């Protein structure tokens, strides 16, 4: 049982857990999370998609094994920190005791002891009789490294597991207003790049509630827009019909996007009732049309299914891009459809971000203490010098040797 406990608190076990966390986090970043099963089938094939769903990789950061590994790693870090902390508190006392009990590391010639004392005072060593100490805070470096890693894991995990998620659609040129007043505008959207390669990309502009901050960025599936407490991803896309409405009476015109059934009318009695947009059609030999409902091949030959309503009578009409339906002074000109993005917006708590940034700042400070503030105790008497430190301090030895004018080797 003791061996199991020692292994659970060992650095080797901690490193194994860290490697597993890194591998799983990388997988969770590369594979979209929380999608429908067909999304994975289209992206990776039926076989791979089956394993992704079976192993819970589609919601990896909430999976039992990820939470278990995180819990074990947190336990490992807590054990390392708690069990080593009493020893950390006694570090300087232990160095003082060693310095008092040790024989001379370096005997001194007459007059050299005073030069060593002056040098140590100039280096801001604290004096307690014939003992000089410095960098006692450096003893806490290792403890703070463990603590900072624990904080990073804790707040990082909460950041991954607890965001508020919204899936919203926005048409090119339109804007979304988020809960805190942040405005997100879709400037453009494309499915293919200039080389004809699939490249689902939205150009977004985000403006803070007060208008004091603004950011414009192209957003892709794994390249979100980070703005304040929000991370905005390219999630999916749809296709919207478009109709240009012209009023010959006053010269007004407006282009509307059609994503769901709608009655387009000025007087609420006469107009066009949009039913749906079909991605294609097949014209039979007798001149009739068979409409295609599958969007697998895209909207190669789009056709609008509408009802024309005028003076109490209605007629079903198939309208193709470029065609016009005229009712009174109003012309309805059907245009080529246009794709629009579906965005996934994650709202993260500023508290969690603050904790995460604090953890990163703490680990930088802790590493600085570990490397540049080695606890050291120097005993200086007329007969000789004793140096005790938690690790080798060649620079200190060189400086004291220089103070002794090179007449002895420390």
Model pLDDT for residues 28-74, shown as the tens digit of each residue: 878 877 777 777 877 788 888 888 888 888 888 888 888 888 888 88
User: In this predicted model, what pLDDT tens digit does every residue of 382-395 receive, in sequence order?
Assistant: 888 899 988 888 88
Query: Residue 271: which region, alpha, beta or left (left: phi > 0; alpha: psi -120 to 50)?
Result: left
Half-sphere exposure of 283 (CA within 13 A, CB side): 5
What is the signed CA dihedral for 72, 17, 74, 365, rounded to 10 degrees? 170
Alpha-carbon distance of 320 to 136, in angstroms, equals 81
Q: Residue 14 corresponds to which tokens in the numbers above?
A: 């901690």
Average pLDDT over residues 131-141: 90
Half-sphere exposure of 52 (CA within 13 A, CB side): 24
Q: Which residues contact 228 (CB under 8 A, 6 or more apart)?
A: 180, 182, 208, 213
Question: What is the pLDDT, as a whole number, of residue 337?
Answer: 93
pLDDT band for position 402 (cuts 50, 70, 90): low
Mean pLDDT of the chain: 86
Query: Using DSSP, how many helices (H) and how many strands (E) does the chain show?
Result: 10, 21
User: In this predicted model, what pLDDT tens digit does every residue of 173-211 receive, in sequence order?
Assistant: 899 999 889 999 999 998 887 887 878 899 999 999 988
Q: Range with the lowest mean pLDDT among 88-92, 244-248, 300-304? A: 88-92
User: In this predicted model, what pLDDT tens digit does every residue of 241-288 receive, in sequence order?
Assistant: 999 999 988 888 999 999 899 999 888 889 999 999 999 988 888 778
pLDDT band for position 403 (cuts 50, 70, 90): low
Average pLDDT over residues 107-118: 86
Alpha-carbon distance of 383 to 399, in angstroms, equals 19
Go through the domains of the chain in sequence order and give each one's CATH number.
161-238+343-349 (no CATH), 239-338 (2.60.200)
Range 296-322 burial, b when 16+ CB lie within 10 A, else e:
eeebeebbbbbebbbeeeeeebebebe
Question: What is the pLDDT, as a whole number, of residue 326?
Answer: 92
What number of other Cβ atoms are within 10 A of residue 21's Cβ? 18
Alpha-carbon distance of 36 to 104, in angstroms, equals 73
Q: Residue 265 corresponds to which tokens in the numbers above?
A: 């009318």
pLDDT band for position 366 (cuts 50, 70, 90): very high
Question: What is the pLDDT, as a whole number, of residue 286?
Answer: 79
352 contacts 158 by C-beta, under 8 angstroms: yes
φ, ψ at 121 (rounded to 5°): -65, -40
303 contacts 278 by C-beta, under 8 angstroms: yes
Predicted TM-score (pTM) of this structure: 0.58
Classify residue 327 by burial, with Cβ atoms within 10 Å: 0-12, 13-18, 19+.
middle
366 contacts 144 by C-beta, under 8 angstroms: yes
- As a whole-number percent, the residues of the chain with pLDDT over 70 amount to 97
């Amino acid at each position: 049982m003791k061996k199991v406990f020692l292994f659970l608190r060992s650095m080797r076990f901690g490193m194994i857990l860290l490697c597993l966390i890194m591998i799983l986090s990388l997988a969770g970043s590369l594979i979209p999370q929380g999608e429908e099963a067909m999304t994975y089938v289209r992206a990776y094939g039926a076989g791979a998609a089956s394993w992704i769903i079976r192993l819970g990789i589609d919601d990896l950061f909430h999976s039992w094994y990820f939470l278990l590994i995180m819990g074990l790693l947190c336990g490992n870090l807590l054990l390392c920190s708690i069990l080593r902390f009493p020893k950390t508190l006694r570090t300087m006392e232990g160095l003082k005791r060693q310095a008092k009990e040790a024989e001379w590391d370096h005997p001194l010639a007459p007059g050299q002891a005073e030069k060593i004392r002056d040098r140590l005072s100039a280096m801001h060593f604290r004096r307690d009789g014939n003992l000089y100490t410095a960098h006692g805070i450096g003893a806490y470096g290792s403890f703070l490294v463990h603590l900072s890693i624990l904080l990073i894991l804790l707040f990082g995990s909460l950041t991954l597991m607890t965001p508020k998620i919204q899936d919203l659609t926005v048409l090119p040129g339109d804007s979304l207003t988020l809960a805190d007043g942040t405005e997100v505008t879709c400037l453009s959207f494309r499915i293919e790049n200039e080389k004809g390669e699939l490249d689902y990309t939205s150009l977004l502009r985000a403006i803070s509630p007060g208008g004091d901050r603004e950011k414009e960025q192209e957003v892709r599936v794994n390249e979100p827009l980070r703005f304040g407490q929000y991370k905005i991803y390219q999630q999916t896309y749809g296709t919207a019909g478009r109709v240009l409405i012209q009023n010959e009476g006053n010269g007004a015109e407006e282009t509307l996007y059609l994503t769901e059934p709608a009655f387009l009318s000025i007087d609420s009695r006469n107009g066009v009732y949009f039913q749906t947009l079909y991605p294609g059609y097949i014209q039979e030999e007798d001149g009739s049309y068979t409409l295609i409902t599958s969007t697998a091949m895209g909207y190669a030959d789009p056709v609008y299914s509408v009802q024309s309503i005028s003076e109490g009578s209605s007629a079903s009409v198939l309208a193709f891009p470029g065609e016009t339906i005229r009712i009174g002074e109003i012309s309805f000109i059907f245009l080529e459809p246009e794709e629009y993005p579906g965005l996934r917006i994650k709202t993260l708590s500023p508290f969690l971000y603050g904790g995460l940034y604090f953890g990163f700042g703490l680990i930088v400070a802790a590493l600085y203490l570990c490397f540049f503030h080695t606890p050291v105790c120097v005993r200086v008497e007329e007969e000789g010098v004793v140096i005790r430190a938690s690790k080798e301090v060649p620079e200190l030895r060189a400086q004291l040797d220089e103070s002794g004018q090179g007449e002895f080797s420390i």
